[in-house]
Amino acid sequence: MTTGRPNAAYAGQVVHFPDPVRSARHPGGVRMDGQGFPDLSPYARAAAEVADPPQGFGVDELRLTDYVSANAALNATGHELWADIGSPVATPAGWTWHHAVGGAGRAAADWSWCRSR
Same domain, 33 and 51: no
Asked if the structure places residue 102 within a domain, the reply is yes
CA gyration radius for the chain?
15
Asked if the structure places residue 116 within a domain, the reply is no
Number of folded domains in the chain?
Answer: 2
Closest to 15 measured CA to CA, from 112, 113, 109, 102: 113
Give me the pLDDT at residue 117, please: 37
**What range defines the domain where residue 92 resides?**
43-110
Q: Is the pLDDT of residue 116 over 50?
A: no
42-95: per-residue pLDDT in tens? Answer: 878 888 888 877 789 888 888 888 889 989 999 999 999 898 888 999 998 888
pTM given for the model: 0.72
Q: Are 27 and 42 in contact (CB under 8 A)?
A: no
Tell me how long the chain is: 117
Closest to 117 measured CA to CA, from 16, 1, 5: 16
3-17: per-residue pLDDT in tens? Answer: 456 788 899 999 898
Phi, psi at 71, each rounded to 5°: -60, -45
